[in-house]
Amino acid sequence: MVHRLSKSRFQLGLQCGKLLWLDSHRRELADPITELQQHIFDTGTTVGALARERFAGGVLVAEDHLHSAEALESTRLLMAEPPAAIFEAAFVHAGVLVRPDVLVSLGDGSWDLYEVKSSTKVKPENISDVAVQVWVLEGAGLKIRRANLVHLDNTYVYQGGEYDLGRLFSAEAVTADVRAWQPAIPDLVSEMLAMLEGPEPRRRVGKYCDNPYTCAFYGYCHASLPERPITELPRVSDELIAALLGEGITCIDDIPPLFPGLTAAQRTVCETVRRGTPEYGAGLARSLGRLEHPVHFLDFETFMSALPLYPCTRSWQQVPFEWSDDVLAADGSLEHREFLFQGEGDPRPAFAETLLDALGEEGSIVAYHASFEDMVLRELSDGLPEHSEAIERVRARLFDLEKPVKDYVQHPELRGRTSIKVVLPALVDTLSYDDLAIHEGGTASLRYLRCAQGAITGVERAQVLADLRAYCGTDTMAMVKLYRVLREASAAS
């Protein structure tokens, strides 16, 4: 059976031949598509449709991917008397089918290609994406003058009303880079098509499982790894993974202390795992001792939208809509404060005003991975100049609780990782996210965005808002409990 490639499957083959084979033969083994992944797909579709409005006189080839033969026929008919532009035209060459986002006729038989992405810059994987399209188009008889990547321009500040499409989108010529790819494509296509005719390829796991995208079959390929797999070593290279697997080593516990190629940080992780008990550095007490009461344990929730929703915002800007603040007094008492914007329009003014009032002018402000809160505050200061001086004073009081964990905590369950979702279950056994409807920030962001867009209303919206309060409040309580554990550990060490 001859298997036809597409531009997306060509990209899969570049990342991993086994990924391409599984996508072609064993789709039922793929991990379930998550709510966030589906949102990414939907966003790409929405952005692509809007980008077409930049090209006057364009005609859409409407048949979807399940009707390729019909799309090819529709394209053939259009090419007899070409319109100014064709969207999603279908072409096939040497077993590869492509559907270019936009082809613009130059009136002399040649065409310009525009590939639309919802990101804000050109990425390396975008070049190979366009390159295989150009190869197919020219193999099918078209003359391509220029190849362009169209992406969102996050320097464009939306002013309300209709989008200025000329500023919302930026087009970058990538013709030279695409041409440099052309000599390699025939052999790559031949190798992929031949591989698809054979059995499932044997390939070990590696960093390519997440690069440039997390593999859809990640669970299938990693299912045989043990509880503490070697892939969790910090900054592990494909070469080190291959060397360990070559020796039959799959678990961090089994790595010899002097195994060649280990970095100092990786050796430390191995030693900690073998020891099986945590170790706290002498500097932990000094680091935590810098905090001044009242100590504010602060967490933000934000959302990002490819297409800006409010005036004076940009594509993919972090828009804060919720904060939680657990205030620890010098006598050990704890007070919880919170804010969640539930109205219409831009949440930033109310967010900033309530936050500044709650934080006052005294005490340290603790956040976990505080560079995020600092970035949000910095953008908030830029967007709300009337509050900029007060916001800058808040930024000066920030304390990053992740830093002492990174610097002074070695724990067998951390293995060099310091995400709060990893640190919390390892050090705190009295709090969990498992029973919450929202478990992590990406889902919180997406569900609020859907409320802001009007996609969630009524009873469902009320439930989402309640879930957001519970999630954000858990984040700050997690920091309080972690801080207390670290204080006790530093006093004992």
pLDDT at 2: 47
Q: Which CATH code is given to the segment(s) 43-193?
A: 3.40.1350
Q: Where are the domains of the chain?
A: 43-193, 225-276, 284-492
Q: What is the 3-state secondary structure (H, E, C) of the chain?
A: CCCCEEHHHHHHHHHCHHHHHHHHHCHHHCCCCCHHHHHHHHHHHHHHHHHHHHCCCEEECCCCCCCHHHHHHHHHHHHHCCCCEEECCCEEECCEEECCCEEEECCCCEEEEEEECCCCCCCHHHHHHHHHHHHHHHHCCCEEEEEEEEEECCCCCCCCCCCCHHHHEEEEECHHHHHHHHHHHHHHHHHHHHHHCCCCCCCCCCHHHHCCCCCCCHHHHHCCCCCCEHHHCCCCCHHHHHHHHHCCCCEHHHCCCCCCCCCHHHHHHHHHHHHCCCEECCHHHHHHCCCCCCEEEEEEEEECCCCCCCCCCCCCCCEEEEEEEEEECCCCCEEEEEEECCCCCCCHHHHHHHHHHHHCCCCCEEECCCHHHHHHHHHHHHHCHHHHHHHHHHHHCEEECHHHHHHHEECCCCCCCCCHHHHHHHHCCCCCCCCCCCCCHHHHHHHHHHHHCCCCCHHHHHHHHHHHHHHHHHHHHHHHHHHHHHHHHHHHC
Supply the pLDDT for residue 4. Answer: 85
CA–CA gap between residue 309 and residue 330 (Å, rounded): 42
Amino acid at 493: S
My answer on whether omega of the bond before 212 falls inside 30° of 0, hence cis, is: yes
Kindly report the length of the chain.
Answer: 493
Name the phi and psi angles at 438, rounded to 5. -115, 125
The pLDDT of residue 3: 55
CA proximity to 269, closest of 251, 287, 286, 288: 251
Contact between 365 and 390 (Cβ < 8 Å): no
- 91 and 6 Cβ atoms separated by less than 8 Å: no
Letter for the amino acid at 321? F
Q: How far apart are CA 175 and CA 180, in angstroms?
A: 9
Q: What gap in Å lies between CA 188 and CA 17, rounded to an integer?
A: 11
Two tokens at 479? 């920091």
Q: Are 307 and 50 in contact (CB under 8 A)?
A: yes
Please say whether the beta carbons of 222 and 209 come within 8 A.
yes
What CATH number has the domain spanning 284-492? 3.30.420.10
What is the block-wise mean pLDDT of the chain (493 residues), using blocks of 10 residues? 80 98 97 96 97 97 94 97 97 97 96 98 97 98 98 97 97 98 98 96 92 96 92 94 94 94 96 94 95 98 98 97 98 98 96 98 98 97 96 98 97 94 93 93 97 96 98 97 96 80
CA distance 172 to 282: 52
Decide the pairing of beta strands 169-173 and 143-152.
antiparallel
Alpha-carbon distance of 398 to 50, in angstroms, equals: 40
Strand partners, 147: 113
Give the span between the Cα atoms of 303 and 341, in whole angstroms.
Answer: 12
